[in-house]
């Protein structure tokens, strides 16, 4: 799959990030077009850190990030509206119900696919849980709410960190099927860090070894 600057949605150049005195990410570069990218690497290689940097949850010491032409520093609001990050931990909005959280996300992202939301809620088995506060949900169900938002949000870039963790088999199958469809049909860039292959057919996605994109 050829990645060219002309077609790129996400352009990352020279990212560096340190935790204290420890250099975690060094000179990370990435150019991605619509489709699915499987971010691979050994435990501790910095996959989660990279996704947080791309999602705006962390700020690099140096380097540039742009999505759909919007620079993360020069146009931060536009950048954040084009990127959605789904992390491995619990959602922060414990006081909101699942339905309230999804409505909140819909208000923030102008291309939120409201018409598709019910399909994802059903596919992930969430219908009976949306009235429950997020803080009262199990780890797996809370993750499903976050994933439902990610599948529906409509941003140019979707970042998923270990999305299959804590999911039941039916939800895993639904998510993998959706991601597989996105690999060939999407206008979005999906970057997924996972110990499991995110697509049913590995030939339709790009595999990115983190060590080969840092120096």
Residue 169 is predicted with a pLDDT of 97
| pLDDT of 11 above 90 | yes
**Residue ranges of domains in the chain, CATH in brackets:** 32-57+81-213 (3.40.50.300)
Inter-residue contact 10 to 54 (CB < 8 Å): yes
Q: What is the pLDDT of residues 133-186, one digit of tens each?
A: 999 999 999 999 999 999 999 999 999 999 999 999 999 999 999 999 999 888
pTM, 2 dp: 0.93
Q: Supply the pLDDT for residue 215.
A: 55
Strands 62-67 and 10-19 turn out to be antiparallel
Q: How far apart are CA 81 and CA 25, in angstroms?
A: 24
Q: What is the C-alpha to C-alpha distance for residues 131 and 167, in angstroms, rounded to an integer?
A: 20
Q: Please provide the DSSP assignment of 38-60 as one string.
A: EEE--TTSSHHHHHHHHHTSS--
- For residue range 41-97, what is the model confidence (pLDDT) as tens digits? 888 889 999 999 999 999 999 999 999 999 999 999 999 999 999 998 888 899 999
Which of 3-7, 10-14, 101-105, 187-191 comes out lowest in average pLDDT?
A: 3-7
As to burial, measured by CB atoms within 10 angstroms (0-12 exposed, 13-18 middle, 19+ buried), residue 179 is: buried
Q: Rounded to an integer, what distance in angstroms lies between the CA atom of residue 201 and that of residue 84?
A: 24
pLDDT tops 80 at residue 211: no
For residue 167, the tally of other CB atoms under 10 A from its CB is 21
Confidence of residue 214 (pLDDT cuts 50, 70, 90): low
């Amino acid at each position: 799959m050829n990645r060219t600057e002309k077609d790129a949605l996400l352009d990352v150049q020279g990212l560096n990030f340190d935790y204290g005195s420890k250099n975690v990410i060094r000179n990370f570069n990435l150019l991605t077009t619509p489709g699915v990218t499987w971010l691979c690497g050994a435990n501790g290689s910095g996959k989660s850190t990279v996704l947080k940097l791309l999602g705006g949850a962390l700020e690099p010491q140096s380097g540039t990030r742009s999505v759909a032409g919007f620079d993360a520093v020069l146009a931060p609001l536009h950048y954040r509206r084009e990127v959605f990050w789904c992390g491995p931990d619990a959602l922060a909005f414990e006081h909101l119900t699942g339905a309230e959280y999804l409505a909140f996300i819909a208000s923030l992202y102008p291309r939120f696919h409201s018409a598709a939301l019910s399909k994802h809620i059903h596919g992930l088995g969430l219908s009976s849980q949306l009235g429950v506060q997020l803080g009262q949900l199990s780890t797996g169900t809370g993750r499903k709410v976050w994933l439902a938002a990610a599948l529906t949000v409509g941003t140019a870039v979707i970042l998923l960190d270990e999305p299959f963790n804590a999911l039941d088999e039916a939800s895993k199958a639904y998510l993998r099927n959706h991601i597989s469809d996105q690999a060939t049909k999407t206008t979005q860039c999906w970057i997924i860090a996972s110990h499991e292959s995110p697509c049913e057919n590995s030939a339709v996605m790009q595999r990115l070894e983190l060590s080969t994109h840092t120096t």
